[in-house]
Amino acid sequence: MKTPIKLVIDEPAPGSFIWTLLETDTSGAPRRVLKAAEYGADSYEAALAAGTRVMDAEIRKSMAPTPQRDGVSH
């Protein structure tokens, strides 16, 4: 993976859970928000599941070979 990422679940209002996917530095300190939930989930577990799906997709995307102009993947 090119940069470390962290999944954070917050409860900004009682019963509303929001996931945020953060790009971090090598020590784990947040650098920027990669993606965040558009709507709150009804439970911590639901927010965690949704955030995990997005995190997995980001990891797969970052590990995919990059096509080059010469037609060879690197």
Query: Per the structure block, which two tokens stand in for 59?
Result: 């990891």
Task: Give the span between the Cα atoms of 21 and 67, in whole angstroms.
Answer: 26
Query: Per the structure block, which two tokens stand in for 50?
Result: 């949704």
Q: What is the pLDDT of residue 18?
A: 98
pLDDT in tens, the chain (74 residues): 577 889 999 999 999 999 999 999 888 888 999 999 999 999 999 999 999 999 999 888 878 777 777 655 55
Residue 21 sits at φ, ψ, to 5 deg, of -105, 120
Q: Are 51 and 9 spatial neighbours (Cβ–Cβ below 8 Å)?
A: yes
Q: What is the pLDDT of residue 43?
A: 98
